[in-house]
Amino acid sequence: MPEFKSYSDNPYRETVVNEIVAGIDRDVERSEDILMLGLATGMFSSLLAPIAPPHVLLPLVALAFALSAGFARINYQNMQKRLSASIVQLNYQQRAVLSPIARVFADFPMEPLEDSLNPLKNVKRTWKSVLGGIIMNPFWIPIFYMLGMQIGEEKNVYELNRAIIGVEQKIKSATIQLEESDA
């Protein structure tokens, strides 16, 4: 298994926690951008409706959702591995500051992509997709399935973003208290 690069080059600097939080924040923004690109591709596909028939266009929309959700999942798993590699190098106080972010990865684990893409392992999502396909059009079944996968990714990114904001506020308030005590 390849060793993942840490979010910080030097764990002995005072600003190591800030660097780690900034790195995770940057990766979360990348996940948000990936998911937004997939959603935008799906939304703008209606522009191609007069040109492409539904049996061609709708599977391509499902593929766009699958790719964006898949890349966001890979990015989420890489963030988890990089954070784990970073936390190993830190002392107890620094780990305590980063614990809300680590807790998100523990509370919202991501299953492998092959499990997410398997309709037999996601019966609830499959049922909702089939029901939507019956109501709308059978060509929409893969779109609903992949959209459900994308929504799951967005939920995890949202929770991770909330944890990052909480840690940033905690760091900021601690910095302000240190500055006031020095003055």
Q: Where are the alpha helices (DSSP H) in the chain?
A: 16-44, 54-87, 92-107, 113-116, 123-135, 141-182
Question: What phi and psi values does residue 8 have, to the nearest 5 degrees?
Answer: -130, 140
Question: What is the pTM for the complete model shown?
Answer: 0.86
Q: Which of 86, 108, 82 is nearest to 97 (CA)?
A: 86
Please give the C-alpha separations between residue 13 and each of 2, 16, 89, 138, 177, in angstroms, as whole numbers: 26, 5, 11, 57, 20
Instruction: Give 119's DSSP letter.
Output: T
CB 19 within 8 A of CB 96: no
CB 145 within 8 A of CB 66: no
* Three-state secondary-structure class, residue 122: coil
Local confidence pLDDT in tens for the 183 residues of the chain: 456 677 777 666 777 888 899 999 999 999 999 999 999 998 888 888 889 888 888 889 999 999 999 999 999 999 999 999 888 888 888 899 999 999 999 998 888 888 888 888 889 999 999 999 999 888 889 999 999 999 999 999 999 999 999 999 988 887 766 666 665
pLDDT at 179: 66
CB 35 within 8 A of CB 150: yes
